[in-house]
Chains A and B, each alone.
Chain A
Amino acid sequence: MRRALAGVLLGAAVAGAAPATAQRLNLGVQGVFADYRELSSALVYSGGGFAGIAQLNWHKFGADFQVAKVNYSPTSSSSATDKFSSTQFDAHLRWFLASGISLETGYTKRDISPDFTTQNFTAIRAGVLANYSLGPGANLLLRGNYLAGAKFSGGGSAPFALELGLGVSVGAANGRYRITGSYEFQRIDRKTSVNVPIQQAMARIGAAVGLW
């Protein structure tokens, strides 16, 4: 079942502003709020922070790099007591196919501080990105990634790890200025000797500037 699911490429993350075929460098800053769960419904965290994004599009190639710093605190319903901060780096490399569809690969890494509060996590991603232009200056993104080769600071593996994303950007028709919003949802079925699932939902709201 999980092997079959491994073929499904879904994930979430938003890549800023410009269409895939534009030749432009976009820089953006974002405010972040997120929800993090691990092991059971007793370990639930929520938090906020800041993020930055750099996005480059060149002919059929596209790439974006995001860093998000989130300070998590246990929710009122959580039995957890320790706060932690997460620094997440995401890289997406795209190859535009046609009709707004791009193939995507990349890398994700999440560092936790202090150590072992939760799990550090790294993985390779592969999936597809759909980019639809709603009109001049408005774009909609939908992304699905499979997170392969997941590694955790506490050991274990995650043969089933998916990322799903939705994004929207609105701004000047020439792409110079944009307001961006993105949502990403990660489900990571980590397994050690027992199942230790991880789930994160993150929203980023910000603005991006097209430099050329």
Chain B
Amino acid sequence: MRRAAFVVLAGLAAAGAPASAQGGGGAAQNATLRRAVQAFDNLNLPQAIGLAQQALSQRLSAGDQERAYALLGGAYSNSPDGFDKAMNAFRQVLLINPERTLDPNRTPTKTLVAFNMALSTMLLVRGLVADSTAFVAGQGAVPIRFTVTSPARVRVRAVSGKTTVAIDSSVQNGAVSLRWPATLPSGDPVPAGDYTIVVDASAEQNSFSSAVRVHVAAGSVDTVAHLTALPGYAPLPVTEIPPRSWRPFGVSFLYAGIAGAGTLALENSQLGTGTRRELYVVAGGALVTGLVMMLRKPAPVPAQGNILYNRLLDEQLVRRNADIAQQNIALRRQVRLTVTPIPAAK
């Protein structure tokens, strides 16, 4: 029995410690509140309640108020017939700090139940987060996440100066995930600048607003480089060396033969026969030229197949580059948006 009582009180002490630690991020400034915390740590709950209420009647900072109400909630939740008072105290905590959470591993069950009951009876928007992201306008969106503690009509909008863009309006409860395309109703990307994403939740007479700030930067989209060659396809040589041919000598032999035979045929017998040295010199020159041209390495000649192939490659290259140019025209019209959350000022 004594052991069980010790566990409960130890849990209370553990619950009180985070309550005080999470409230203002440090020790209480108010002396009365410090004494109340000390009494709570000593498991003297009546004294802790009294001192906390006494501290709340004084002028406290927001952090000390949160600590005081959290201490009251923890103390009442473990006091006989103190559950309602604990819920009220936790409501006050949540009004001061809607993001307030309790560590379920270090908090007594009764305190957790009281806290969650208080949470469920309130309309809060908690955990509003806009993730940092980068995307091409019209092809991506900014992820927005938050939690609504009870069913409510939730309106989400982005505000920057005179620009207000509606993001969503729907009835939500629990965890909500939205995607903001960061575009105006016209479809154009929102102007660059700082935006406040505001979440308004309303249910009957209750309403709650939460906001988070993001910075939207606009930049150009990378264009595609033009091609200088088709990958995997190399141009072929436009000339090729043909095989050696006897044709030059053959033709020169034919031409010289025609000239010689023609001369012999045309010579007039009445005029006698000359030395024909003119014929021999030139015909000999033609035959030697033909022989040399036959024996020498053939000169490169145009390779028609390769030329056609290269022309096809060039046409493909031109076509591909024209496509890239068209693609780049579209890319230059696009805007790359980079969204980064702005840390809340402390």
Contact = CB atoms under 8 A, between A and B. Distances in A.
A62 interface: no
Nearest to A40: B270
A44 B255 contact: no
Interface residues of A, number: 43
B255 A182 contact: no
A203 B259 contact: no
Given A44-B271, A135-B296, A142-B258, 14 more contacts: A12-B259, A14-B282, A34-B278, A41-B271, A134-B289, A134-B290, A138-B289, A166-B256, A166-B279, A183-B279, A185-B279, A203-B277, A203-B281, A205-B282
Interface in A1-49: 10, 12, 14, 33-35, 37-41, 44
A140 B259 contact: no
Contacts of B262: 10, 144, 164, 185
Nearest to B248: A134
Interface residues of B, number: 32
| Majority SS at the chain A contact face | strand
Contacts of B133: none
Contacts of B258: 142, 166
B289 A140 contact: yes
Interface string B245-256: 000100110011
A2 B42 CA distance: 150
Give the interface SS of chain B, mostly helix, strand, loop or mixed: helix
Nearest to A182: B282
A91 interface: no
B255 A140 contact: yes
Contacts of A40: 270-272
Contact of B248 (A135, A173, A182): A135
Contact of A201 (B270, B276, B286): B276
Given A33-B278, A140-B290, A181-B285, A166 B271 contact: no
A141 B268 CA distance: 24
A136 B260 CA distance: 26
Contacts of A162: 266
B275 A35 contact: yes
A132 B251 contact: yes
22 contacts: A10-B262, A33-B277, A33-B278, A35-B278, A37-B271, A40-B272, A44-B272, A132-B251, A135-B248, A141-B255, A142-B255, A164-B259, A166-B259, A168-B285, A181-B281, A181-B282, A183-B259, A183-B278, A185-B262, A187-B267, A197-B271, A201-B274
Interface string B204-215: 000000000000
B298 interface: yes
B293 interface: yes
